[in-house]
């Protein structure tokens, strides 16, 4: 069996491959505890606001707001 001469690129390639495999890569930024808490609270606040708006719309009876961006009047029973 004949010995093949080593390619001059094989060592560089294997070293480069090993270096890349040992590097710590972070595909996403890791959130700190405070950042995670802020994000969670913001999501909860938005969800709460949407619930309150929906509740307000469902309870509303009477004329629509005079504002251009007002909430439309509900079509529930009038007392």
Q: What pLDDT, on a 0 to 100 scale, did the predictor assign at position 21?
A: 58
Other CB atoms within 10 A of residue 54 CB: 10
Question: What digits encode the pLDDT tens for the residues 39-49?
Answer: 999 999 999 99
With CA atoms as reference, report the closest residue to 73 among 52, 65, 54, 53. 65
Q: What pLDDT, on a 0 to 100 scale, did the predictor assign at position 59?
A: 78
Q: What angle do CA 67, 68, 72 make, to 5 degrees?
A: 80
Question: What digits encode the pLDDT tens for the residues 12-70?
Answer: 656 555 555 566 665 677 779 999 999 999 999 999 999 999 888 887 765 555 556 65
pTM: 0.38
């Amino acid at each position: 069996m004949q010995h093949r001469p080593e390619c001059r690129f094989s060592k560089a390639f294997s070293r480069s491959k090993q270096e890349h495999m040992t590097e710590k890569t972070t595909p996403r930024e890791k959130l700190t505890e405070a950042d995670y808490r802020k994000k969670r609270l913001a999501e909860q606040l938005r969800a709460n606001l949407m619930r309150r708006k929906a509740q307000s719309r469902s309870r509303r009876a009477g004329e629509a707001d005079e504002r251009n961006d007002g909430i439309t009047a509900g079509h529930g029973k009038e007392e």
